[in-house]
Amino acid sequence: MTTAVELLGELIRFRTVGGGEGAAARHCATLAEGAGLTTRLLEWEPGREQLVARTTGGDGPPLTFTGHLDTVPVAPDDWSVDPWAAARDGDKVVGRGASDMKSGVAAALAATVAHAARPHSCRGVQLVLTAGEETGCTGLVRLDAPERDAIARGGPLVVAEPTANELVLGHKGAHWMRLRATGRAAHGSAPELGDNAAVRLARAAVALHDHAGWPRHDRFGPVTANVGVLRGGVAPNVVPDAAELLLDVRTVPGVDPARLRAQVGLLAGERVEVADHVVLPPLDTGADDPFVGMVRAALQAGGLPDDVAPPARFFTDASVLAGLLGDGDAAPTVVLGPGEPDQCHVVDEYCLATRVEQAVTVYEELLARWCAPA
């Protein structure tokens, strides 16, 4: 098999901006099948299949690695290099998805393939590569029951999202809301005869942006709110009779979604409808969990610090997958990946090849400990 860094380059060359993940998933499936893993492509939208690959044998729940294949959009003219060429600049591998998170996918797949090739009594390893994570874990959320049943339940979870190979045990959740206002159209020369829905939502946007009284958590920090989309109207000479706002609220443990939605409604003001768009719970694994201890030992063996980093501000597929693996109760989950957190969604995104190689070493060590006789 190619090295993890070479595989990263191959994955970057798949243009998976809001689609096309299926081609990348099939490429990964071919590599997994060559190592003797069983694979299944999970269909939810044409061309956007997701992959479940699993080692054969094992008499219990597997250890699961997960990563997403989609990326956020890119404006190529803003980049100094082709975003899909996987250009090298010394130790840097540059390209859309390099850090978020094709480097993590490449490291997890390379480690799983190497583990499967090593003669031993395998306890079971599962790789779940998803689509649509960037739009609210859409690929996992929209799977029907038969497709979800292809994912083996019960074991712990490693999310290979970008942490610069630091150990993260929690991340914020996401509560995206859609706000709608309706008004009354009129000629633009007589705005007093209409009811401007865009103005009403603009006032709501400012109130939500400026609000400083969101709930706060000792470790996760405050709930945050971002006005991501604001649109309304059809022409400058028409008073808008409808407008829409999309709000991204990042949540912390202990915050009730219904109360948060009500708070947004109060801030938005009268005659603004607030509805849920995406609701993903935060992740919070206890530092005393035995699986966390196993991961820390693998980091030590790989020559990396095993300190627990603060919870991440971003969400991951663990918001869906941890509950699925645990049949309602969140499976023990760590976030640990080679990408650079500050490179997510930026121009000239890069990751470091040495971090990818380090992640492979740590993942292989973790897998060896997972399958070691008790």
> Which residue segments constitute the domains of the chain, with CATH numbers given?
4-171+282-371 (3.40.630.10), 173-280 (3.30.70.360)
Give the H/E segment covering residue 58. Answer: none
Question: At 1, is the pLDDT very low, low, confident or very high (cuts 50, 70, 90)?
Answer: low
What CA–CA distance (Å, rounded) separates 309 from 294?
Answer: 16
Owner of token pair 């912390």:
252
User: Given a cut of 80, is residue 122 above it in pLDDT?
Assistant: yes
312 strand-pairing partners: 171
Q: pLDDT tens, 203-213?
A: 999 999 999 99
320: exposed, middle or buried (Cβ count in 10 Å: 0-12, 13-18, 19+): buried
Determine the average pLDDT of the residues in 180-187: 96
What CA–CA distance (Å, rounded) separates 100 from 370?
Answer: 26
- CA distances to 16, 17, 84, 87, 136 from 70, in Å: 5, 6, 13, 19, 12
Determine the average pLDDT of the residues in 5-15: 98
Strands 63-68 and 125-130, bridge-based pairing: parallel
Sheet with 92-94: list strands edge to edge.
87-89, 92-94, 350-352
Residue 56: per-residue pLDDT: 85
Helices and strands (H and E) in the chain: how many: 10, 19
